[in-house]
Chain A
């Protein structure tokens, strides 16, 4: 602690060292463990086409999870995402009935997503309502509209070209959805980690008052995040509807919690302020692999949700248990 001229180093630990000791590394080990366990448990697991099929378990949810990750890091949440899928899908289904073609359908899907996101965003950022309350409200509201329109009916008759968004393959076993998932992952990774906008998101999540006092336009950033979550729900609605080929009002029921689970499993603090896109990508694979592996072993869906729940609690409790054990 001399008083003479000193140079403060940029960092004490290199970014690589920080990365190695991170949550993401732990999660990656879990993912590899599950992969290995699965390949021993079922002879059908190590098959390119089966693995390709497995990606559909998470690609659509993960697209939303990336936007949700930013929203949660900023200290907000959107629980209406699955209902936005329902509303966007219903709007597309209705449009099909009056003969709208594939480009029109995509436009409608994206627009409904954006509009729903804007609605949430206005309520939270303009009126200052808590996002968890607002989006629990719009969760019922958006899906409620789908139920009024459809009742116990379904919209069908999507054009052949539209189904490519959910069933098409770009090359060999690589599906369009998987490619889209990868592109969106990169976009959000860059947005969060390499841009001014991403830095503002972290600042807001750590201390919204401090961020405002530092000249960050907090409400504007949050509004954009709601727009993005809505937009991604619209994208997921297009893929899912194209994959299923029909729209029922119960489409994507319960996905909001699976998306949030994926985000939290990926190491994003539910209290805001920290987390990475890489973590969410790995978490998406973990959830996909677990679901797929259990599916191959003919484990029923109810048991799967138990396993996912246990996995979430286990992976989150693990580092804590480890440090408690070491402190003894």
Chain B
């Protein structure tokens, strides 16, 4: 039955007809793009299948087909071996398929319980929602996933990690046989990731089939039983995880050997560009002092909530500090808005690409030129030819993959969206570039490209600040690392002190 040749049998003697849910020969086209080309995928009860692929490989499309959001142009969805179309998300849910998305839509003004049971809340008299029962059922469900949350709290009062738990509870609130997890650990800290693994184990024990989408190989090897690799919308290989090595998976994913080694650089550190002293905010951070030099990559490490992003956004003029001063090239500057920051040569690549980094409904070229309109216009009048020229120059430097410069940024993969954001800032010819989690949600191929590019920028004399929670990235890229904890700088490390244990110790305060 299997169409492709390089297929190994799934682990533990499972055969295709034992799959709870399978895709068979699925094709999906969008105008001008073939997103999926006759792909197959099988999910087995009590097993975790890792779906691996670069951004744009078709993983999200598969998730949307499995959850009834997209309709395939060809091929079958098999539930217990029987062809079953999923014409609506409801049909997918009725067949026991549920998904925990990268960005689940939750409602800030509703309570935790209401969020979990939205759309299928328990009903009482006259068909009205039974609040008491909602709370009680929510508590049971939250307990079962080890989340100690009050179901009556409003969602907006929760932190990001707890919101994620609510999203998981919401996904499990239907009678699920198949659970899809789309990069579930992307926003979580170490401890929370461990808790998530435990949850995955308990779901396995309950006999649920799990589709696990992730960019992180360590977690794939830790929790997955099977793997399926996609590349450019095609099935490249699948089988038992115990039969492959990381290097083999990477090769299948990118179609070539990729060294996961960080670019070698000889830092050529010059004069101080940015110096910050006594910088403080009433609630988020205090007493920040450091100097950034030309050609340097300065890493900012810390746990989620250490105040790194808040500090960077303040430096970029989003929020006003309560005290402190900033000097650029030895001159004191007062940055009241992002526009001031850009004028002074400080630019910021935010973590939240969709909301802050890019304007998804505008074309690529308009995104790239947005902060540089003054350079492509004459007395305020736009010169379209120059606009395209500028956009082309910087997107090509970053090796952007897109159908045209007129494509809306929202239609690009995460890695390419990030390239647009970086291109936008480079076009302003900044002195200092702040990258906030630059490779979060970016596939391994693009990740290496972003790292290469950072190294290149530093070599050209740009001063780079990199906020990252990934220890290999921090250690691999930074010349110097500042560790923040609870809004304060707790350590500044260089050379021999740059050890994983040292970073973690300072970040956790032990």
Contact = CB atoms under 8 A, between A and B. Distances in A.
A10 B355 contact: no
A254 interface: no
Interface in B363-408: 365-367, 370-371, 373-374, 377, 380-382, 388, 392, 395-396, 400-407
A328 to B, nearest CB: 14
Contact of A12 (B342, B360, B403): B403
A64 to B, nearest CB: 23
A214 B377 contact: no
Interface stretch (B198-206, B238-246, B333-341): B333-341
B404 A8 contact: yes
A206 B373 contact: no
Contact of B339 (A8, A206, A216): A216
B362 interface: yes
A199 B406 contact: no
Contact of A8 (B256, B338, B366, B396): B396
B404 A195 contact: no
A207 B424 contact: no
Interface in A156-173: none
Interface residues of B, number: 46
A206 B232 CA distance: 30
B400 A8 contact: yes
Given A11-B404, A12-B32, A217-B339, A196 B380 contact: yes
Nearest to B256: A3
A24 B360 CA distance: 24
Contacts of A200: 373
Contacts of B342: 215
A192 to B, nearest CB: 11
B356 interface: yes
Nearest to A11: B406
A11 B388 CA distance: 10
A8 B362 CA distance: 17
A120 to B, nearest CB: 22
| Interface magnitude class on chain A | 20 to 34
A212 interface: yes
A211 B407 CA distance: 18
A1 B380 contact: no
Contact of B388 (A10, A199, A215): A10
A301 interface: no
A209 B371 contact: no
Contact of B356 (A1, A206, A210): A210
Contact of A196 (B316, B382, B395): B382
B383 to A, nearest CB: 10
A11 B405 contact: yes
B458 interface: no
A211 B359 contact: yes
A195 B365 contact: no
Contact of B382 (A199, A212, A214): A199
A113 interface: no
A313 to B, nearest CB: 25
Given A10-B365, A195-B380, A213 B404 contact: no
A87 to B, nearest CB: 31
A114 interface: no
A199 B372 CA distance: 11
B170 to A, nearest CB: 26
B409 to A, nearest CB: 10
A282 B403 CA distance: 33
A217 to B, nearest CB: 5
A77 B374 CA distance: 28
26 contacts: A1-B232, A1-B401, A8-B396, A8-B403, A8-B404, A10-B392, A11-B405, A12-B403, A190-B381, A196-B380, A196-B381, A199-B366, A199-B382, A202-B366, A203-B359, A207-B355, A207-B359, A213-B316, A213-B357, A214-B338, A214-B370, A215-B338, A215-B339, A215-B341, A215-B370, A215-B371
Given A11-B404, A196-B380, A216-B371, 7 more contacts: A8-B395, A8-B400, A194-B381, A203-B366, A211-B359, A211-B370, A214-B371
A-B CB proximity, top 9 nearest: A215-B342, A196-B373, A11-B406, A215-B371, A213-B356, A210-B359, A207-B359, A214-B370, A215-B339
